[in-house]
């Protein structure tokens, strides 16, 4: 009887591992079982919460677009709509496109979910509730998440479909590009916390890092939008241009796996943003509360706080999806290489220098103020540069040839504006090279 | 230290089960009556012409090259960031110089027109 009460209290305080160790003793076999149990619980949670996430996103988007959204299956809020969709996907016929590369076509949906699940191993849900607190946590996340790029190429290449291949190329170019500002933005919390462990970064945030480095947080957020391929950057599956991108030939549950991985990834990056910049599960020390009989009930508070923060970030993802239109592929890449990467390089340049110049004994509030002032100065300068560029651009537009001004609107089509003008000879050097002269592939659209 | 990676190893070993289960269930529950027309690749409603796996746009390759430079740099910068507290000002100055050289590479690529989408 006392064991059952112990079990219930352990469940409520999220310390089931401690309960197993108390009851069955500690041995390598028991530790192995605890680890296996942790993996199964974590993965099942990630897969099942997607059912809720899809419903939530459909409802939120519907409300933003002045619609009702799902409202038939499972009561007036359509709560079981996604369950019905899953059942439908399960009963679909699996069609194997002719000429597809069997291995890469079938491996891609499996691998994409594996990559989406593995990153959760270092996500700190509450104090002590973490798959494993790796000392290279942030680096591990970057390593695993970049594997998903290869999976997309596998899917697009293996499908034997030109749209899928185009989508995969776009996906690789976009994801690979946006990984650079993301890595550079991630360096800022690592420098501020002096550790790569995700739990350690939370421990260092007596003041959330959002207040230390808002510019870094913004860069990270924008890059994570691109990494998950969500709306302003959902070019890889632009349904109006390349039908559905890399997963056009997939149906049934294989398509479902791509869909699932996308939602799991989005929730993961929301959680990562909450962990790195919003203080994760921290809630004024309440998360470390341990009751008199030794059960860490504070973990439950930490878990709730973590999910409130995560879903707030997730809501902004959905909000952006409901607000912004899709951007062109050259705009996506220009925005990354000519704006985000230089900005994050300058940011990391100054953060690395300033944080060393601050005397060691400085309190967190004073340190925060210095970093915040630096970030705001940088943001102001960036906006000033953008404003000047914008003015130049508008002047070139009004000084151009009549009402059309097409080359001003589409500067990349031919000779453009501002700094692009002196780059034109560089293009001509490559005139006889296949750089820009060849059509990408024999596809009627591009 | 190594015990930390036990969890990752178990995770890697078990994780294929979670996506495989629904796909296999789909295979068991769904019908399976293939025919050549059904298996054609989708392309605007007309039959596909030519080979899919041919030359691709070289531009992607150049972006990938620039990316590799910056990705390798991350391998250098992350240990420096993690050990930041133990480094003196000289080491940080050297790191900052390293970042400056990287930025220089980006500016060079930019001025050569590599970053233009053509």
C-alpha to C-alpha distance for B51 and B53, rounded to whole angstroms: 6
Of B7, B31, B103, the CB nearest to A93: B31
CA–CA distance from A390 to each of A3, A335, A383, A385, A386 (Å)? 69, 14, 10, 9, 6
**CA A83 to chain CA centroid, nearest Å:** 25
Q: What is the mean pLDDT of residues A283-307?
A: 84
Chain A, chain B: beta-carbon pairs less than 8 Å apart: 257
Q: Identify whether the C-beta of residue A184 lies closer than 8 Å to the C-beta of residue A219.
A: yes
- Burial A209-230, CB ≥16 within 10 A → b, else e: bbbbbbbbbbbbbbbbbbbbbb
Q: What is the DSSP string of A284-313?
A: TTGGG---TTS--THHHHHHHHHHHHHHHH
DSSP code for A117: H
Nearest CA in chain B to A437: B118
CA–CA distance from A265 to each of A145, A227, A228, A247 (Å)? 9, 9, 6, 17
Q: State the nearest Cα–Cα gap between A257 and chain B, in angstroms.
A: 7
Nearest CA in chain A to B2: A134
ipTM of this model? 0.88
Q: What is the mean pLDDT of residues A201-227?
A: 90
| pLDDT at residue A4 greater than cutoff 70 | yes
- Residue A78 in tokens: 């359509």
Of B32, B84, B106, the CB nearest to A191: B84
C-alpha to C-alpha distance for A47 and A314, rounded to whole angstroms: 17
Of B16, B64, B112, the CB nearest to A426: B112
pLDDT at A238: 64
A441 touches chain B (CB under 8 A): yes
Contact state of B81 with A190 under an 8 Å Cβ cutoff? yes
Q: What is the mean pLDDT of residues A113-127?
A: 90
* Residue A128 or A118, more confident: A118
Q: What is the mean pLDDT of residues A71-75?
A: 82
Chain A partners within 8 Å of B53 (Cβ) = 157, 160, 165
Chain B partners within 8 Å of A121 (Cβ) = 7-8, 11
**CA A59 to chain CA centroid, nearest Å:** 21
Q: State the nearest Cα–Cα gap between B2 and chain A, in angstroms.
A: 10
pLDDT at A243: 67
When scoring B31, B35, B69, B82 by the number of chain A Cβ atoms within 10 A, the one with the most, hence best to mutate, is B82
Backbone angles phi, psi at A129, to 5 degrees: -100, 85
When scoring A216, A340, A341 by the number of chain B Cβ atoms within 10 A, the one with the most, hence best to mutate, is A341
The 3-state DSSP class for residue A133 equals: coil
Contact state of A32 with B54 under an 8 Å Cβ cutoff? no
* Residue A397 or A118, more confident: A118
C-alpha to C-alpha distance for A241 and A251, rounded to whole angstroms: 19
Contact state of A253 with B23 under an 8 Å Cβ cutoff? yes
Contact state of A348 with B99 under an 8 Å Cβ cutoff? yes
Q: State the nearest Cα–Cα gap between A407 and chain B, in angstroms.
A: 14
C-alpha to C-alpha distance for A187 and A360, rounded to whole angstroms: 20
Percentage of chain A exceeding pLDDT 90? 14
Q: What is the mean pLDDT of residues A180-206?
A: 89
For residue A215, what pLDDT band results from cuts at 50, 70 and 90?
Answer: very high
User: What's the mean per-residue pLDDT of chain A?
Assistant: 81
When scoring B6, B15, B37 by the number of chain A Cβ atoms within 10 A, the one with the most, hence best to mutate, is B15
Q: Identify whether the C-beta of residue A396 lies closer than 8 Å to the C-beta of residue A417.
A: yes
Q: State the nearest Cα–Cα gap between B102 and chain A, in angstroms.
A: 9
Q: What is the DSSP string of A177-208?
A: HHHHHHHHHHHHHHHHHT---HHHHHHT-SS-
- How many CB atoms lie under 10 A from the CB of residue A74? 15
Judged by CB atoms within 8 Å, which residues 366-385 of A form the interface with B? none
| pLDDT at residue A221 greater than cutoff 90 | yes
- Residues with Cβ within 8 Å of A76's Cβ and at least 6 positions away in sequence, in order, are none
| pLDDT at residue A183 greater than cutoff 80 | yes
Contact state of A352 with B95 under an 8 Å Cβ cutoff? yes
Q: State the nearest Cα–Cα gap between B47 and chain A, in angstroms.
A: 11
pLDDT digit string (tens) for A82-109?
888 888 888 888 888 887 788 888 888 8
Of B7, B85, B99, the CB nearest to A132: B7
Q: State the nearest Cα–Cα gap between A31 and chain B, in angstroms.
A: 10
C-alpha to C-alpha distance for A44 and A42, rounded to whole angstroms: 6
Evaluated on CA atoms A218, A219, A221, A226, the torsion sign reads positive
Q: Which residues of chain B register pLDDT less than 50? A: none
pLDDT at A236: 66
Judged by CB atoms within 8 Å, which residues 110-129 of A form the interface with B? 110, 112-114, 117-118, 121
The 3-state DSSP class for residue B83 equals: coil
| pLDDT at residue A433 greater than cutoff 60 | no
pLDDT at A271: 93
pLDDT at A444: 45
* Residue B90 or A233, more confident: B90
Q: Is the CATH code 1.10.10.10 the one for domain B2-111?
A: no
Nearest CA in chain B to A343: B103
pLDDT at A277: 92
For residue A239, what pLDDT band results from cuts at 50, 70 and 90?
Answer: low
C-alpha to C-alpha distance for A7 and B1, rounded to whole angstroms: 29
| pLDDT at residue A273 greater than cutoff 60 | yes
A436 touches chain B (CB under 8 A): yes
Region of B50 please: left (phi>0), alpha (psi -120 to 50) or beta. Answer: left
Q: State the nearest Cα–Cα gap between B84 and chain A, in angstroms.
A: 6
Rg for chain B, CA atoms, rounded? 25
* Helix and strand counts by DSSP (H, E) for chain B: 4, 0
The domain segmentation of chain B, as residue ranges, is 2-111
C-alpha to C-alpha distance for A255 and A250, rounded to whole angstroms: 5
pLDDT digit string (tens) for A355-403?
888 887 788 888 888 889 999 999 999 899 889 988 988 888 876 554 4
| pLDDT at residue A344 greater than cutoff 70 | yes
A330 touches chain B (CB under 8 A): yes
pLDDT at A268: 93
Percentage of chain A exceeding pLDDT 70? 87
Q: What is the mean pLDDT of residues A192-212?
A: 89
Q: State the nearest Cα–Cα gap between A129 and chain B, in angstroms.
A: 14
C-alpha to C-alpha distance for A224 and A215, rounded to whole angstroms: 14
For residue A206, what pLDDT band results from cuts at 50, 70 and 90?
Answer: confident
Contact state of A427 with B117 under an 8 Å Cβ cutoff? no
For residue A253, what pLDDT band results from cuts at 50, 70 and 90?
Answer: confident
Chain B partners within 8 Å of A169 (Cβ) = 56-57, 60
Nearest CA in chain A to B58: A435
């Amino acid at each position: 009887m006392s064991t059952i009460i112990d079990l219930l209290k352990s469940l409520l305080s999220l310390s089931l591992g401690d309960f197993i160790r108390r009851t069955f003793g500690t041995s390598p076999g028991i530790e192995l079982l605890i680890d296996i149990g942790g993996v199964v619980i974590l993965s099942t949670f990630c897969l099942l919460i997607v059912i809720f996430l899809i419903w939530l996103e459909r409802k939120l988007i519907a409300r933003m677009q002045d619609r009702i959204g799902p409202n038939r299956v499972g009561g007036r809020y359509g709560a079981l709509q996604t369950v019905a969709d899953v059942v439908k996907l399960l009963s679909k016929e699996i069609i194997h496109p002719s000429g597809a590369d069997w291995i890469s076509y079938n491996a891609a949906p499996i691998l994409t979910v594996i990559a989406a699940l593995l990153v959760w191993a270092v996500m700190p849900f509450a104090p002590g509730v973490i798959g494993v607190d790796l000392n290279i946590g942030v680096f591990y996340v970057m390593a695993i998440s970049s594997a998903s790029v290869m999976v997309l190429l596998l899917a697009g290449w293996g499908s034997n479909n030109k749209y899928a291949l185009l989508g995969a190329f776009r996906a690789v170019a976009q994801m690979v590009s946006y990984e650079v500002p993301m890595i550079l933005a991630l360096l800022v919390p690592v420098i501020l916390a002096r550790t790569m462990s995700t739990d350690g970064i939370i421990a260092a945030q007596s003041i959330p890092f959002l207040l230390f480095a808002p510019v870094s947080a913004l860069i990270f957020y924008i890059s994570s939008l691109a990494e998950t391929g969500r709306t302003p950057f959902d070019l890889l599956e632009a349904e109006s241009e390349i039908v559905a991108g890399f997963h056009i030939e997939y149906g049934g549950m294989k398509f479902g796996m791509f869909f699932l991985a996308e939602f799991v990834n989005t929730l993961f990056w929301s959680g990562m943003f909450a962990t790195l910049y919003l203080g994760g599960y921290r809630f004024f020390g309440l998360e470390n509360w341990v009751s008199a009989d030794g059960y860490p009930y504070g973990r439950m508070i930490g878990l709730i706080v973590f999910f409130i923060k995560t879903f707030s970030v997730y809501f902004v993802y959905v909000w952006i999806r409901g607000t912004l239109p899709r951007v062109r592929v050259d705009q996506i890449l220009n925005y990354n290489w000519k704006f985000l990467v230089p900005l994050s390089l300058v940011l990391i340049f100054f953060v690395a220098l300033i944080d060393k110049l601050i005397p060691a004994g400085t309190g967190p509030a004073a340190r925060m103020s210095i970093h915040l002032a630096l970030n705001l100065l940088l943001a102001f300068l960036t906006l000033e540069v953008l404003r000047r560029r914008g003015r130049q651009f508008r002047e070139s537009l009004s000084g151009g040839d009549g009402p059309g001004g097409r080359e001003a609107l589409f500067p990349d089509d031919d000779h453009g504006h501002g700094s692009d003008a002196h780059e034109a000879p560089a293009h001509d050097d490559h005139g006889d090279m296949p750089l820009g002269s060849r059509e990408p592939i024999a596809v009627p659209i591009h | 230290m190594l015990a930390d990676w036990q969890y990752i190893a178990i995770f890697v070993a078990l994780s294929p089960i979670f996506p495989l289960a629904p796909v296999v269930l789909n295979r068991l529950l769904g019908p399976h009556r293939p025919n050549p027309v059904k298996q054609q690749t989708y392309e605007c409603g007309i039959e596909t012409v030519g080979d899919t796996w041919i030359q691709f746009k070289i531009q992607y390759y150049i972006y990938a090259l620039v990316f590799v430079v910056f990705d390798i740099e991350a391998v250098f910068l992350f240990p420096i960031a993690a050990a930041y507290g133990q480094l003196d000002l000289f080491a940080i100055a050297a790191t900052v110089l390293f970042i400056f050289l990287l930025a220089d590479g980006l500016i060079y690529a930019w001025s050569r027109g590599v970053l233009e989408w053509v």
